[in-house]
Amino acid sequence: MEKIVILTGAGISAESGLRTFRDAGGLWEGYRIEEVATPEAFARDPALVHDFYNMRRAAAAAARPNAAHAALARLEAAGRHEVLIVTQNVDDLHERAGSVHVIHMHGSLAGALCAACGYRWAAPAVMAPQDPCPACARPATRPDIVWFGEMPYQMDRIWQALRQADLFVSIGTSGNVYPAAAFVQDAARAGARTLELNLEPSLGARDFDEARIGPASRIVPDWVDTLLRA
């Protein structure tokens, strides 16, 4: 059975109404994303960073999966390919569309983490710096998100999947952020075919065998239909 590894970024959730980093100009409240999504920013102003994620958590809860998320779930459910989604997104739209094999390499808005004892639990809608950890009671709670400078989650499992992939597909990502931006090279080196589905060529466009340009809600279902008709 063909193994397909699919990397998704903010662009797949754009038509669900969730802002991407580029379109937002990477700015929030006058801060660059790289300035807000860091451990240093959290140490300096935990209330500001919690507010940033409280806003993102509310937006994700109000959003609906779009036809691109649904098409990827349909591809997995068809059972003719081994499908793994590695998402950079922290929303849960893949899961809500029905995808099962999903890795959130940059964490998830649905998760909370205690910076003091490492305990993880389901994040409440609104988090605040003085919230006590449910396990150790210390006020050290943070969103379970991978910030710039932190180790992305499940990298060993991801690199193994890239080594074994027959096809690597990148959807809705600009190729700005590493190590995700290098996955296409890792997959190609291991012999996979590579395909980019994006609104515009990404920074890594030249590394792909093939590219289809357009909005994800159109080009992802078209691609899945072609695959399932073959």
Active site residues: 106
- Compute the least distance from the CB of residue 79 to ligand BV8, in Å: 26
**Under rule CB under 6 A, residue 15 binds ligand BV8:** yes
In 17-118, DSSP assigns E strands to 27-28, 31-32, 81-87, 102-104, 107-114
3-state class (DSSP) for residue 135: coil
**Under rule CB under 6 A, residue 145 binds ligand BV8:** yes
Pick 84 or 202: Cβ nearer ligand BV8: 202
**Under rule CB under 6 A, residue 146 binds ligand BV8:** yes
User: 115, 101, 127: which is closest to 47 by C-alpha?
Assistant: 127
In angstroms, the CA 53 to CA 73 distance is 26
- Compute the least distance from the CB of residue 165 to ligand BV8, in Å: 18
Q: Please identify which residue in 4, 5, 7, 10 interacts with ligand BV8, judged by CB under 6 A.
A: 10
Stretch that binds ligand BV8, among 77-85, 114-122, 133-141, 147-155 (CB under 6 A): 147-155
Beta bridge partners of 86: 7, 103
Pick 164 or 176: Cβ nearer ligand BV8: 176
Tell how strand 210-213 and strand 31-32 pair up: unpaired
205: CB partners within 8 A, 6+ apart: 175, 196, 211
Tell me which residues in 33-62 interact with ligand BV8 (CB under 6 A): 34, 37
For ligand BV8 (CB under 6 A), the number of binding residues is 36
Pick 90 or 165: Cβ nearer ligand BV8: 90
User: 74, 35, 77: which is closest to 52 by C-alpha?
Assistant: 35
DSSP code string of 172-191: S--S-STTGGGHHHHHHHTT
Stretch that binds ligand BV8, among 121-129, 145-153, 161-169, 188-196 (CB under 6 A): 145-153
Residues of the shown chain interacting with ligand BV8 in the complex, contacts defined by CB under 6 A:
9-11, 14-15, 20-22, 34, 37, 88, 90, 106, 145-152, 155, 172-174, 176-180, 198-200, 202, 215-216
